[in-house]
Amino acid sequence: MKKVLLFLAILSISYFANAQYTVRLVVTSVASKQQDEIYVAGNFNGWNPKDEKYKLKVFGGSRRSVVINDLPAGTFAFKFTRGGFEKVETTNDGRDISDRIIEVNADVSVDLTIAGWKDDYPDKPKRYTASPQVKIMDTAFSIIQLNRKRRVWVYLPKNYASSSKTYPVIYMNDGQNLFNEQTAPYGEWGIDECLDSLQTQIGKEVIVVGIDNGGEKRMTEYNPYDHIQFGKGEGKAYVDFLATTLKPYIDSKYRTKRSVEYTMIGGSSMGGDISLYAAITHPNVFGAALLFSPAFWVTPALYEAAEKFTTTNAPKFYFYAGGKESTTMVSDMNKMVEILEKKPRIQIRKVVNPLGQHNEASWRAEFPDAYKWLMKD
């Protein structure tokens, strides 16, 4: 009898752990452009703003709906678009809205309204917010490995010009989002203001090099592997550019500490994925990585790469994830951490913010603690 009860308990746990649910999103009214196609983009479809499988269908007059099948239990974030994030939903006066959140633990149907669209409201000019320590090193630096050009930013410590010191360097992806509100479509990280203050407090100074992402090429440049949805991976070539072209140039132009323990890399989402890939494929170049909300569900082959990773150095890895991101964000990160923790000499810090979302505001809030940990002796 005990064996039967144990079997039933295990069966029950297995059922609920693997349960799949159906979510029906119904848009009951749309403020404008009612004849346009509407899509839903969320962490269940890689935030694809024009995924035909997630296009809403008209029913019952002006109402539209989309049915999302086979979702596991968890928290999902989404927004409605008209085929691009330049046409994403807004408030009724054109302000950005937070991600819509739905908790799934059973089949559910939700009625929603769309108050406005981003392209209904001309963008207001944004302020130039980069501090005097930030310069655009080049508006079209050549990525010879990909036959492309890219804007590169450089943040220098306040006393750089008046001293003869050499400095560690952090290379950061998505450079347009790091320093300047004017170039950051979803808000900036405020890296410059943060470092202006922190470096005085803790006495640890650093140069930051920001490399703009490739726009429509971002999902391929930040992925070392081919992807059925996003296309042929170009991450290896991009990382080779960072390690063999950009770093030597930065070392020749600025007073840097050139050895591996003083050369770091970081990024968020896919920028986190490619930062980890850079650290494990060029362990004699990058000695530390800041990994904010890494999107390992897009690059599962990174787990195998991490399993094979060996180094005689003592690299540092800072992992961060938010509890309000995709349903697998934290578990995916934990899986990677568990793999790397088995390696000798690696230093790891893992942070989970239960309220953290997949956005620049969350990463901006986390960066000061990440920097302090990274720079500690």
Where are any strands of DSSP class E within the chain? 20-30, 39-42, 57-59, 63-72, 74-81, 89-90, 100-104, 108-114, 116-117, 134-143, 148-155, 169-173, 207-211, 263-268, 288-292, 316-322, 347-353
Given the structure tokens 């404008």, which residue do they identify? 32
Q: How would you write the pLDDT of the chain (377 residues) with one tens digit per residue?
A: 544 444 444 444 444 446 799 999 999 999 999 999 999 998 888 788 899 999 999 987 789 999 999 989 888 889 999 998 889 999 988 888 888 988 899 999 999 999 999 888 876 778 899 999 999 999 999 999 999 999 999 999 999 999 999 999 999 999 999 999 999 988 999 999 999 999 889 999 999 999 999 998 999 999 999 998 889 999 999 999 999 999 999 999 999 999 999 999 999 999 999 999 999 999 999 999 999 999 999 999 999 999 999 999 999 999 999 998 888 899 999 999 999 999 999 999 999 999 999 999 999 999 999 999 999 87
pLDDT at 209: 98
Number of Cβ within a 10 Å radius of residue 71? 18
H or E element in which residue 332 lies: helix 329-341
Count of beta carbons in the 10 Å neighbourhood of residue 97: 15
Query: What pairing do the DSSP bridges indicate for beta strands 63-72 and 169-173?
Result: unpaired
Q: Model confidence over 201-211: pLDDT tens digits?
A: 999 999 999 99
Sketch out the chain's domains with CATH numbers: 19-120 (2.60.40.10), 134-375 (3.40.50.1820)
Residue 95's pLDDT is 83
Distance in angstroms (rounded) separating the CA atoms of residues 179 and 212: 11
Q: How far apart are CA 210 and CA 89, in angstroms?
A: 30
State the pLDDT at residue 18.
Answer: 62
d(CA 374, CA 190): 18
pLDDT value for 257:
98
Q: Which residue in this structure is represented by tokens 């309000």?
A: 324
Other CB atoms within a 10 A radius of the CB of residue 174 amount to 23
* Alpha-carbon distances of 276 from 214, 287, 290, 318, rounded to whole Å: 18, 11, 8, 10
